[in-house]
Amino acid sequence: MRLTSNSGLLQAMDAQDLKSPQLYINRELSLLEFNQRVLAQACDESVPLLERLRFLCIASGNLDEFFEIRVAGLKQLQELGSGLATADGLSIEEVLDAIHTRAERLVAAQYRCLNEMLLPGLADQDILLLSHSDWTAAAHEWLGRYFEHEVEPVLSPLGLDPARPFPRIQNKSLNFIVRLEGRDAFGRDSELAIVQAPRSLPRVVPVPAEGSQRLLVLLTGIVQAFVQRLFAGIRVLGCYQFRLTRNSDLFVDEEEIDDLRRALEGELAHRRYGAAVRLETSSDCPHDIVQFLQRQFALGELDTYRMPGPVNLNRLSAAYDLVPRPDLKYPAFTPGLPRRLAGGADLFAAIGQKDLLLHHPYQSFAPVMDFLRQAAADPQVLAIKQTLYRTGSDSPIVDALVSAANAGKDVTVIIELRARFDEEANIELSNRLQEAGAHVMYGVVGYKTHAKLALVVRREPGGIRRYCHLGTGNYHPRTARQYTDYGLFTCRDEVGQDVHELFLELTSLTRTPRLNCLVQSPFGLHEAMIAKIEREAEHARAGKPARIIAKMNALVEQQTIEALYRASRAGVRIELIVRGVCALRPGVAGVSENIEVRSIVGRFLEHSRVFYFENGGTSEMYLSSADWMERNFFHRIEVAFPIERPSHRQRILDDLSLALADTAQAWRLRPDGCYERVSGTESPRISLQGELLARNAAGTLFGASGS
């Protein structure tokens, strides 16, 4: 989002109005800019070739979710007649128009990346994604048999006439609209038919080949090549791909229901058929057919995207696993372990010595699972309490909790049923836990439970002792290999008491607890962060050391941004590492010239939240589950926890310093809202993720400094 005019910005600075729309970047357009940075990984020749294909698929999937949730929400507001303007001053209509313009450029860039970079690069490696014109006679014969035996039996062509209306199209399903000529067995003259590709069929089909070649064909190409076989005696004039994206946000009026789980189960059944928000067609689809589809779904030109290649690039992700070429993928690594945990150490004894900090995925997530497994098997453990937001459908975390419940321990689980796109899996997991005898609760009405907490209550010779795990990421073993997050084990009394109070708050009817060292939302986290930012400004005005380093996924909450602007004006050095959406506009003279915003996009998804305050020389550092967003501050249950051990603070600060020095995968946000790559004169370039892999992974054992 570019500034509208320099003169207008100067007026905003002169007025010192920190609410001026020109000081804010539109959230939706910032999210599209993030997707552009993901796509840049697909175009980066320093990234292994099959990983580049994977990044292209991630960018496509991200765009799907953007329309399913963000655009769908804007359209709902528009239909309700909302005149609400965003902090940047754009109306809903202006935002939707800008989204279409930016998304069209993004889609065009995706297909240029595929057609001009990735497909030729794969072909050079004897990996061929064949179009129909490239099929050899042998391939054509094999694919014909494949269509006859595997595809045709599950296809149901649907002719369109008054007795056969346009079928319901599922969200993101692959479909074909077929133009026909001729009469069928009943003398009907139908000009159009719909063929829906079954979701049970693989979207990428490997074709037998000689030698080292890998031949792949998309299901769409197979259907289009043999579609004539579905319409005996009728002439097929054309067959065109299309895809519909629908609103996938679930709405449950929690104040009006008796059972959240049952209500969500009912909503999930309707998700596939939410309101239409985007129509994608192949670029060869005739204009009159596009218009016909637009009328069916009540969509217009701003909702329509024509694809110069296969519709839905995300299905190409199957090729990654079909091609066994480790030389074209990131090198495998073995996560490291702290020395105190080597050789299957007793976790309770190790935590009892001193706090233990883990940094995933560079260090193994196994200790977190072992913590719960040991607790389940330990006869001295009386109770386990756990929050679960995303954990996967086949979760070893849940297995351990089930074992603990079966062993007669008191197990309480706060499972967030409303974790977007994980609702169904979480409902199934809640059933498993309840069947095992665990106490399962769904949090607090009106607030998502996003905090990452585990509490083990253990009887020891000195009395009851509480062992805690607090993290920035989910209890999900698979994403722990892909997302960067910190986790802290501790048995400090003040932390254990705070976690105990938080679970009481979540499970029973209590007043807001008075916490010793943790900070929670929606009670106090926002105020605490504002106060700490303002304190840095006071230190700067007094000539004391003042600096803020904050790492998060998103920064959009307006009051927090205003506080950062005020601190910048006071002379505080502010370094923000924001992976995704950032509504703050850095580098504006007189407002934010002391603020730098970076984004790092690489092999791993930067997911950890870290807040560092210089505090006049007595530094403070917090890890948190919360981004600086309105939803995290006011509509979710989140926790920020302090890092007390000096070695841990220094270790995390070293990680932040690496992020601020990154010249390999870092991007810098400019005042105009666009991002530019950070480049350095050093050779080799500095890579945050590469350096942390080298330091921590490959099974390296750490001494005291890495514990």
Q: Supply the residues annotated as catalytic.
A: 450
Task: State residue 6 phi and psi, 5-degree precision.
Answer: -65, -40
Q: Crossing angle, helix 72-79 and helix 92-112, to 10 degrees?
A: 150
**Residue 636 identity:** R
Among 655, 656, 657, CA closest to 693: 655
Please tell me the distance from the alpha carbon of residue 365 to that of residue 475, in angstroms, as a whole number.
Answer: 9
Which residues 6+ apart lie within 8 Å of 373 measured at CB?
A: 400, 403
Is the previous residue joined to 361 through a cis bond, with omega within 30 degrees of 0? Answer: yes
Task: Assign residue 463 a region (left: φ > 0; alpha: ψ between -120 and 50; beta: otherwise).
Answer: left
CB-CB contact of 707 with 338 (8 Å): yes
If you ran DSSP here, which 8-state letter would residue 153 be given?
A: G
* Cα dihedral value 359, 363, 368, 369, nearest 10: 150
Please tell me the distance from the alpha carbon of residue 122 to that of residue 329, in angstroms, as a whole number.
Answer: 12
Structure token digits, residue 115: 């057609």
Report which secondary-structure segment, H or E, holds 37: helix 27-43
Among 143, 284, 269, CA closest to 206: 143
Task: State residue 393 phi and psi, 5-degree precision.
Answer: -75, -30
If you ran DSSP here, which 8-state letter would residue 395 be given?
A: -
If you ran DSSP here, which 8-state letter would residue 254 be given?
A: G
User: Among the residues of 455-541, which ranges form H helices?
Assistant: 493-507, 525-541
Work out the burial of residue 561: count CB atoms within 10 Å of its CB; fewer than 13 is exposed, 13-18 middle, 19 or more buried: buried
List residues bridging with 205 in a β-sheet: 217
CB atoms under 10 Å from CB of 119, counted, come to 18
CB-CB contact of 147 with 226 (8 Å): yes
